[in-house]
Structure 1
């Protein structure tokens, strides 16, 4: 039994490519910049593998735990802490090919966000270019809510919601106060649609629209979208860093199991 247990420890050491070293919770905290309590919480949540225990009950960690903590930190930067926790849990319980696919999906998601932001930026530039050559509005040169919703590819209820949020202000005409959208309101609606396509939420769009008094100040919307692209790039770099650590975790046995049944 003792020989079998020793073989298992040596096997883990060879698999990880170095001699097996044990670390206390405090040592792992110092190496990872997490607090002792955070490490305990992350272990309890299944973000990092379970630690081995000494006869006195103290936890024993390995460098794989430090790698897992580093991977989680970068994942949290790239996709947020909730998705990061779910990913760390999934790669430990899923079959190898499914775990790899789980990570690939994160890259695809960020790439899609970047494409959306670029599409929104192109749409905004197109709106500004069109407005420069647009003739002055004439009476009756407006769109109904049905026409505008069809032009933007959104529901009429979405336009009413944007109106309630102060993003778009249609005019009211006729005895039934029917909404109509003059050219200025149409442009605002198109800017809102472009920002929504870029992944912006209503509060952020509201801040842009408040300062967007006319299309000459569309710089604010452009800067917001360029900031979004910079943010996506930074998150993508963090995901690339996490990828190297995640690959190591996928190829490593659970460190806590090496001595879990040793006497």
Structure 2
């Protein structure tokens, strides 16, 4: 079947471009980047694509929303090299990341539930034994101390300074804020988007902005999941025709 598609219905770059809302240069770039199989040339040196190229392009564009440009391109390049197992590994990794993002969202939601259950005064009344320093907290979160300092400069965490040593001391409320910032950053939110949410938590003036952000995050995860299904179907069609 693949050989039939390879030989039937010659297509020009403009034909592929128009059918998919792209420029002819984009189509050429995709071929040069290995996302499309190498095209034959006419006697005059023009590229001659086939319906198989159209299937490859369709698969790539369908994979983009769920996997991103870099991974989608790597998947098609692996397929075109005849390395289907590598393509499947890349797809598996994307699904694993989506699952991890879902777990992160659940962790944020759990943190918010804890925040709503615990009065702000409780968090502020943490004992010295519940305090920590910048190094251990960075290790616990899996980030660099410089990242915590950046969050501090943005007003997202507010550690006090030890009077004797000058070291930053993070109490329970600071750790809570740092965890929340870390989780929201993993969800794709910018520092300037997180700042008002942290302020809302501190002021205990309502969690509606944060709840809205979580709903938006959940919606984006669901959209990615559906896009992955669509991309898988188009990739399967391309694989089937390649033979």
Specify if TM > 0.5: yes
| SS class of match (1:251) | helix
Aligned to 2:151: 162
Q: Which of structures 1 and 2 has the bigger CA Rg?
A: 1
**Conservation of the 8 A alpha-carbon contact between 2:11 and 2:49:** yes
Deviates more, 1:211-220 or 1:236-245: 211-220
**Conservation of the 8 A alpha-carbon contact between 1:117 and 1:199:** no
| SS class of match (2:38) | coil
5 Å-filtered alignment, 1:93-242, equals 93-131=81-119, 135=122, 137=124, 141=127, 143-146=130-133, 149=136, 153-154=140-141, 157=145, 159-181=148-170, 184-196=173-185, 198=187, 200=189, 202=191, 204-206=193-195, 208-209=197-198, 212-242=201-231
Aligned to 2:61: 73
Aligned length: 240
TM-score (norm 1): 0.75
1:24, distance to aligned residue in structure 2 (A): 1.7
Instruction: Output the aligned Cα RMSD.
Output: 3.4
Where structure 2 has 5 or more consecutive residues not aligned to the other structure, the ranges are none
Where structure 1 has 5 or more consecutive residues not aligned to the other structure, the ranges are 1-9, 255-263
For residues 142-197 of structure 1, the C-alpha deviation after alignment (integer angstroms, 9 at most, x for no partner) is 54334995699337825444323421012234243343345543442342244245
TM-score (norm 2): 0.80
Deviates more, 1:150-159 or 1:45-54: 150-159
**Conservation of the 8 A alpha-carbon contact between 1:77 and 1:235:** yes
Q: Does 1 or 2 have the higher relative contact order (CA < 8 Å, sep 6+)?
A: 1
Aligned mates of 1:136, 1:31 — CA distance in 2: 58
**Conservation of the 8 A alpha-carbon contact between 2:59 and 2:238:** no
| SS class of match (1:46) | coil
**Conservation of the 8 A alpha-carbon contact between 1:78 and 1:239:** yes
5 Å-filtered alignment, 1:41-52, equals 41-52=29-40
1:121 to 1:58, Cα distance in 2 relative to 1, 3 A: same
For residues 63-87 of structure 1, the C-alpha deviation after alignment (integer angstroms, 9 at most, x for no partner) is 2222222222222222222222222
1:80 to 1:169, Cα distance in 2 relative to 1, 3 A: same
| SS class of match (2:119) | helix
